[in-house]
Chains A and B, each alone.
Chain A
């Protein structure tokens, strides 16, 4: 059974710092992996999607990498800002079917202090 883990559960950094959020999954048979951002009381916003054939994706100050063989993904945030404060979730697209069903990690809550 696929399990997704995110460590740490919470992170607090000063503004301007570069940081890495971690995501690990137990079954390497995935179609893709997606990173989301969630602000308090809101829905999820898709940040990056990495297909299983890709190694990384970049969008602005965000870079996500995928290592299927080791069951790991990282989200790198460069030059963090207070507006980056949110919960970050990773999710894998289950490999047993082609329906887009996701399995989510518990998330990492990030606080960027001014």
Chain B
């Protein structure tokens, strides 16, 4: 079974801190994704990566950056945390299928981040 592991289930940080959220997958997937999930807004894509050292902005990249130095690990960085970044953060991975039909995305259990 695919396993996507997020380093923390709960995290509390202060405004202005630099925050790192880590995600590791064990299935050699090329694609990795970071989402945030908020009540009433659903899941929104922050960043994704389709290969080592490759990244592309999603729908809401402002205030975030990412790092993918190894294929199995994708880090989300909050450069200077703000209260409006309090949210549930979800990491996912997938592998491109044949003829453009992607394989299912597999998700971690999420990190509930509170910025005080």
A binds B: yes
B36-64: CB near A (< 8 Å → 1, else 0) gives 00001011010010100000101000000
B42 and A106 form a contact (CB under 8 A): yes
A31 touches B100 (CB 8 A): yes
Closest 10 CB pairs of A and B: A43-B107, A46-B104, A100-B102, A44-B107, A104-B43, A51-B101, A43-B109, A49-B104, A106-B42, A43-B110
Please give the distance in Å from A3's CB to the nearest CB on chain B. 11
- Whether A89 sits at the interface, judged by CB under 8 Å, is yes
Segment 73-95 of A: residues with Cβ below 8 Å from B: 89, 91, 93
Checking A32, A34, A104 against B42 with a beta-carbon cut-off of 8 angstroms, the contacting residue is A104
Contact A98-B96, Cβ < 8 Å, known A43-B110, A104-B42, A107-B42: yes
- Whether A42 is near chain B, meaning CB under 8 Å from some CB there, is yes
A71 lies within 8 A of chain B by Cβ: no
B106 at the interface (CB under 8 A from A): yes
Residue in A44, A49, A98 whose beta carbon sits within 8 Å of that of B90 in the complex: A44
Interface positions of B (Cβ within 8 A of A): 4, 31, 33, 40, 42-43, 45, 48, 50, 56, 58, 90, 92, 94, 96-97, 100-110, 112
Q: Which residues of A contact B (CB under 8 A)?
A: 31-32, 34, 36, 41-46, 49, 51-53, 89, 91, 93, 98-102, 104-107
Q: What is the bound-complex CA distance between A105 and B56, given in angstroms?
A: 22
Assess the A43–B108 pair: CB atoms within 8 A.
yes
Known: A41-B112, A49-B104, A104-B42. 13 other contacts (CB 8 A): A31-B100, A34-B105, A43-B107, A44-B92, A49-B103, A91-B105, A93-B102, A100-B94, A100-B96, A101-B33, A101-B48, A104-B43, A106-B42
B residues less than 8 Å from A91 (CB atoms) = 43, 105
Distance (Å) between the CB of B31 and the closest chain A CB? 5
Contacts of A34 in B (CB 8 A): 104-105
Q: A49 contacts which chain B residues (CB < 8 A)?
A: 103-104
Nearest-Cβ distance from residue A88 to partner chain B, whole angstroms: 13
Within the complex, the shortest CB–CB distance from A67 to chain B, in Å, comes to 18
CB contacts (< 8 Å) of B94 on chain A: these are 100
